[in-house]
Amino acid sequence: MQIKFIKSIVRDAVDVPSVLDGADVEFTPISSVNWSAEYPYCPDARFRMAYNNLSVFLHYKVTEDSVRARYGEDNGNVWTDSCVEFFCIPDDDNIYYNIECNCIGTVLIGAGTGRENRERAGIETLGSVQRWASLGRRPFEEKEGPISWEVALIIPYSVFFKHRIRSLAGKQVKANFYKCGDELKKPHFLSWNPIQLETPNFHCPEFFGNVDFVSE
């Protein structure tokens, strides 16, 4: 997958969808149902991404049978809510980041080489991620739908707090994108790049796909 460089200066996450529209950035489905026997439900989930010299821009669109946003404080258990996620290895080592966001823009960010003993991002790092959520920012219990929602994120390079990322231009990184809802009435675990494991697990960099940040 190729990621476009955009020259626009984007100051607010609410502007991300229109900027990506203007740059003709297309959506990619998150549609691999990796554990279909136990978790067959596949909501409509899509994402698109672009970047500039300062940040990565992410825009998700989801339609699902119910939504929940119990967690309103960052670094909570957002994966149990209606959640979208971006995992990536931004440098030439084995450290990967999990950037997880529920449907009201609450984020969780961690870093490490495996699922265990991950280091959570600090308050300053979390606060640097700008977010826009079509459902607003207030927590709520599960609502039945179908319901459509969007979130957009501006992720500055400083979010990769275990590294000093100055630019992603021309780099190929390993990454995966997910849609989940562990505690919804219809639990689901979707990925962009397929995962060949017996049980649900997103912390598996061996199944990340190639993402190319195209130079300006």
Q: Tell me the pLDDT band of 9, cut-offs 50, 70 and 90.
A: confident
Find where tokens 């390079």 sit. 157
Instruction: Inform me whether the pLDDT recorded for 11 exceeds 90.
Output: no
Q: In the prediction, which pLDDT does 216 show?
A: 74
pLDDT at 66: 98
> Per the domain annotation, does 37 fall within a domain?
yes
- Residues 95, 105: Cα–Cα separation, whole Å: 24
Residue 4, domain member (yes or no): no
Instruction: Please report whether residue 140 resides in a domain.
Output: yes
pLDDT given at position 149 = 98
What CATH number did the domain enclosing 141 receive?
A: 2.60.40.1190
pLDDT value at 17 more than 90? yes
Domain span at residue 171 reads: 10-207
Q: Is the dihedral of CA 138, 143, 149, 150 positive or negative?
A: positive
> Which parts of 52-139 are beta strand (E)?
55-69, 83-89, 96-102, 107-112, 119-120, 130-133
In a domain, 216, yes or no: no
Please give the Cα distance from 198 to 130 (Å, whole number). Answer: 36
Structural domain count, the chain: 1
Asked if residue 18 is part of any domain, the answer here is yes
pLDDT tens digit sequence for 151-175? 999 999 999 999 999 999 999 999 9
Confidence (pLDDT) at 130: 98
Residue 82, domain member (yes or no): yes
